[in-house]
A = this chain, B = another copy of it.
């Protein structure tokens, strides 16, 4: 069985609290605000472990910053407003199947995909 240390557990519960996805820097700020004396390095290292153990997923914001979220829930993608940041979760089963097919066609293995939509929401 997997071992899981305190920092990793803290990060998991913070990610649960956040509900969606958050960057390492944001998670760090949230924990510090809660009075936790955790260091930034530890946050990065714990996220890396969680990533290796496939407990969290990573994707990139438009500015290149890494965003982490818990896996396990139905895999979905996001429609993000590039002005105010509003995020809508979207379903993408058809995309999933398409990605699989393309990978197979080109003899690629272990294929993951990045599908994110960015635009302006109705308010912006």
Q: Which residues of A contact B (CB under 8 A)?
A: 60, 62, 64-66, 79, 81, 88, 90, 92, 94-95, 98-99, 102-103, 106-122
**Which B residues are in CB contact (< 8 Å) with A110?**
119-120
**Which B residues are in CB contact (< 8 Å) with A88?**
106
Q: A94-B94, A94-B98 are in contact. Are A118 and B107 (CB under 8 A)?
A: no
CB-nearest residue of chain B to A60: B60
CB-nearest residue of chain B to A92: B98
**Which B residues are in CB contact (< 8 Å) with A108?**
79, 81, 117, 119-122
**Which B residues are in CB contact (< 8 Å) with A62?**
60, 114
**Which B residues are in CB contact (< 8 Å) with A122?**
106-109
Sample of 17 more A-B contacts, CB < 8 Å, known A90-B102, A109-B122, A112-B119:
A79-B108, A79-B111, A90-B106, A92-B98, A94-B94, A94-B98, A107-B122, A108-B119, A108-B122, A109-B119, A111-B118, A113-B115, A113-B116, A113-B117, A114-B117, A114-B118, A115-B115
